[in-house]
């Protein structure tokens, strides 16, 4: 039967795989995908809590915001990736070490 914990379990799995992608993959595009996964896991959490607490529509609205933010973030991230590729001719994350102290 489907209850709150099922949703939380799903979002936990999504969050975890997003983190793993973020940490383990060296491809910038893949890392952006990992960020999408993390954000969507958060959105699922919001929806789930709203659905099972019969409260108001706050969670829905928040999720809409998250989707908008995720879209904007993806656009910015891709733009950075393109600029990065133009400069370095690669999108390997280990080459982006200019912040090194």
Partner 1 sequence: MEYSICTIAPIVLLPFFAFVINAFIVKRFTNIAVAISCFSIFGSFLFAARIFNDFVFGVYSAGFHVHKVFTWFDISATGLPFKVDMGFYIDNMSATMLLMVTGVATLIHVFSTFYMHDDKRYGRFFVYLSLFTSAMLGLVLSDNLLSVFIFWELMGFCSYSLIGFYYEKEGAGDASIKAFMTTRVGDVFFLFGIVILWSVIGSVSFVEIYKAISAMKLQGLTVLGFPLATVAAASVFMGTVGKSAQVPLQVWLPDAMWGPTPCSALIHAATMVAAGVYLSLRMYPLMEAGHMMTVISYIGAITAFGAATIALIQTDIKAVLAFSTISQLGYMVMGIGVGAYNASFMHLITHAVFKACLFLAAGSVIHSLHDHHTHSHVQEMPRMGGLRKKLPFTFIAMMCCTLAIAGIPFFSGFVSKDRILGDALYMAMKHSSYIPVAVLGFGAALLTAFYMFRMMFLTFFGEPRDKELHDHCHHEHLSWNQNIPLLILTVFTLGGWYCGSIMGQPFGKIATERYEWFQTLIEKPDVAKFKDYYKDNLIGGKTRPSISTEKSVYDENGGLSEEQAHHVHHAHHLGAIFSVIIAFFGVFLAFLAYIRKAIDPGKIVNAFSGWSRALQNKYYFDHFYKKILIHKILLRLNNFLAWLDLGIYDRYVIDGTEKVNSYMFQFAKWFDNLWIDSILVDGTGASVRLFNVVLRTVQSGSIQFYFIVILAVLTGYIIAI
Q: Which residues bind partner 1 (CB under 8 A)?
A: 19, 22-23, 93-94, 96-101
Q: Which of 37, 32, 39 is nearest to 84 (CA)?
A: 32
- Closest to partner 1 by CB, 10 or 93: 93
Using CB atoms within 10 Å of the CB of residue 55, give its burial: 0 to 12 exposed, 13 to 18 middle, 19+ buried. exposed
User: Least distance from C-beta 93 to partner 1, angstroms?
Assistant: 6
- Closest to partner 1 by CB, 8 or 93: 93
User: Least distance from C-beta 25 to partner 1, angstroms?
Assistant: 9
Ramachandran angles phi, psi of 36, nearest 5°: -60, -45
User: Least distance from C-beta 97 to partner 1, angstroms?
Assistant: 4
Cα 53 off chain centre by = 25
Tokens of 41: 């896991």
- Closest to partner 1 by CB, 1 or 23: 23
């Amino acid at each position: 039967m489907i209850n709150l914990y099922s949703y939380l379990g799903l979002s936990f799995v999504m969050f975890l795989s997003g983190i793993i992608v973020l940490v383990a993959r060296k491809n910038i595009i893949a890392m952006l995908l990992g960020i999408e996964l993390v954000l969507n896991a958060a959105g699922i959490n919001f929806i789930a809590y709203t659905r099972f607490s019969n409260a108001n529509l706050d969670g829905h609205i928040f999720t809409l915001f998250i989707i908008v933010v995720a879209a904007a973030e993806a656009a910015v991230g891709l733009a950075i990736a393109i600029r990065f590729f133009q400069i370095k001719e690669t999108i390997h994350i280990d080459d982006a070490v200019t912040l090194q102290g």
